[in-house]
Chains A and B, each alone.
Chain A
Amino acid sequence: MKKLIALYVPAATLIGYIFLFAPLLVLVIYAFNAGRSTVVWEGFSLAWFAEALRDRGLRAGLQVSVIVAIASAALATMIGTSAALAVVKRPFAGKNLFSTLIIAPLVLPEIVLAVGLLVATVWTGVPLGYGTLIAGHVLVSIPFSFLIVRAAASGLDPRLDEAAADLGANGKQAFLRVTLPLLAPAILSAFLLCAVISFDNFVVSTFVSGVGSTPLPIQIYATLKSGLTPKINALGAMLIAVNVLVILVVMSRYLKTIRKQS
């Protein structure tokens, strides 16, 4: 019996990993396929990477996605950080309700949010485009920046604020010289995570992007309709590489702060 359990745990782990990563692995492998098929291997080639980079539609989509990711991540991080600091450091009425509402987009069905946003834009007459796209992405990424910065801020010794005030620093000086530098790693992590979330977003983007502001995921989906070629695989492989890089940066920063605290 004991032996069985000893075998079960690594086996289950292995199956889990295969389930998680096999599709990605297949996708990356076929990005290097010489033929047009995404299931039959016909030899090694980098042609599809060139093809993907040459595709005007995909390039335009990539540009939209990068701009929207940076803008929405910047806004979401600012709003999330302010909200987190308010919740951690200031007493105010309805704090629990406020916290719940700000992370609500996390648990609400995204499709409902998307439809709501579209209705709102129609009502207010705001034209669909970069503005609506960025607003939508800010909405879905605020919970993440809020949660990350709140966790870091509640880990700060509240005496540090008092020490700063005690030494003559006014609110602004204490924030710029003590709070902000100590939260910088968390704020950077929040920014990167929000950027990735925006970059990957599909549902909200589908509803609120306009002509000339189609982000990459939707562009890819449109390409799929006209036939699946390893071009998409090549693009996917590049996106995975960028995402992994971002995650590595975030993780290494995170590990560094953990090590410092211990």
Chain B
Amino acid sequence: MPPDITTEPAGVSRAAIELIDIRKAFGTGAETAYAVDRLNLTIKAGEFFTFLGPSGCGKTTTLRMIAGFEEPTSGRLLLDGRDVTGVPAHQRNVNTVFQSYALFPHLNVGENVGFGLSVKGVAKDEIRDRVKAALDSVHMTHAIDRKPSALSGGQQQRIALARALINRPSVLLLDEPFGALDLKLRREMQMEVKEMQRRLGITFIFVTHDQEEALTMSDRIAVMNNGVVQQVGGPVEIYERPANRFTAGFIGDMNLIEARITARNGDQFTLEAAGSRIDFPCTLPLQPGDACILAIRPEALHFVEGEAGGSVRFSGALGEAVYIGTDTVYALVLADGTRLHARVRNGDRPMPQAGAPATLACAPSAIRLLTQ
């Protein structure tokens, strides 16, 4: 009998962080704005968890509340099952890798990495050994006597990681740690950090606005916007089954088309979208007259000629075409002016001319119906 893969090991299902009804308000009275609003979330021990969203969505504020740099206006925060709401940052067993690294400029690399142990009064010999081991794990032993200002951004990043991890935190917080690195170095560091997380088994909480970074590194992702969590799920779920308009539009390229239910026959819906009539199987509790949104990935669309059964079709005039190497992205202007983008592989057929009538089609299963 194959092992039951739905059962997680005992250590993994334990909660490392529980955020219970967290709110963070800025301003007072009528001008009160919530940077984070009614956040309820459980992050499991050993998980690589990412807060993803545009700038100002509340992801960094959430991280700062977990670190203890900011206190929630209301709600509770549990760390390893213990309520740490109101506990100052220096008494929490979490460590942070800052976006700007925040290495101490007056201390050398070894002193920076040993700082946490030193303030806790750990013996000098032990500090020396652990600093060496920590620097070794990020391949920076050679820089032990140098000042942070003499190091490159990527090297400073490694020192910041070593400085945080040497304290053996139960949770490591990373605030857009790769934001200042160039693309190649960023990819390298992503791999390395992910590998390190697997090896150490520490809970990593990661904040980024880069959806690709989030998808490649995370076990689970919380997509945030305007202080509210839009969706929580694994990378595949977030990408393939976005829960609402925001997630659909934020993760990857997506066509979002306003639609209206015109008829329903059991689970078979008829929709009116951008001047086209679409038959669509769906189990959502929608009634004729309800508005909804169709979400279709550009790569799911292809050109068709004549009638093809079983697929959803959109007809219109071809707009601009953008050549991007292996593919070309075509815009199709529908009857009501909506632009539908299709990403089509090059070479199969001659490039259609702009302005020519054309029809795009996709399988009903490639369409996601969103209600909000």
A residues in contact (CB < 8 Å) with B: 157, 159-160, 162-170, 173-174, 177-178, 181-182, 260
Contact = CB atoms under 8 A, between A and B. Distances in A.
Given A159-B98, A260-B149, 4 more contacts: A157-B102, A166-B89, A166-B90, A168-B167
Interface stretch (B112-120, B213-221, B249-257): B112-120
Nearest to B100: A159
A78 B338 CA distance: 68
Q: State the majority secondary structure of interface residues on A.
A: helix
A164 B115 contact: yes
A243 to B, nearest CB: 29
Given A168-B120, A260-B149, A163 B102 contact: yes
Contacts of A162: 67, 69, 89, 96, 98, 102
A182 B96 contact: no
Contacts of B120: 168
Contacts, number: 67
Interface of B: 67-69, 88-91, 94-96, 98, 100, 102-106, 115-116, 119-120, 149, 163-164, 167
Contacts of A170: 90, 119
Contacts of A159: 98, 100, 102
B119 A169 contact: yes
Contacts of B149: 260
Contact of B104 (A160, A165, A173): A160
Nearest to B169: A166
Contacts of A174: 90
A106 to B, nearest CB: 31
17 contacts: A159-B98, A162-B69, A162-B102, A163-B98, A163-B103, A165-B68, A165-B90, A166-B67, A166-B89, A166-B95, A167-B90, A167-B95, A167-B164, A169-B119, A178-B104, A181-B106, A182-B105
A177 B91 CA distance: 18
Contact of B116 (A168, A181, A182): A168
Contacts of A160: 102, 104
B241 to A, nearest CB: 36
A177 B119 contact: yes
A253 to B, nearest CB: 14
A167 B115 contact: yes
Nearest to B64: A162
B100 A157 contact: yes
A34 B336 CA distance: 103
Going nearest first, the 3 A-B pairs with the smallest beta carbon separation are A167-B116, A159-B102, A163-B102
Contacts of B88: 165
Contacts of A164: 90, 104, 115, 119
Nearest to B68: A165
Contacts of A163: 96, 98, 102-104
Nearest to B96: A166
A224 B88 CA distance: 63
Contacts of B167: 167-168
Contacts of A157: 100, 102
Contact of B105 (A166, A168, A169, A260): A260
B106 A182 contact: yes
Contact of A169 (B69, B90, B163): B90
Nearest to A162: B69
Contacts of A169: 90, 115, 119
A47 to B, nearest CB: 50
Contacts of A165: 68-69, 88-90
Nearest to A158: B102
A165 B68 CA distance: 9
B100 A168 contact: no
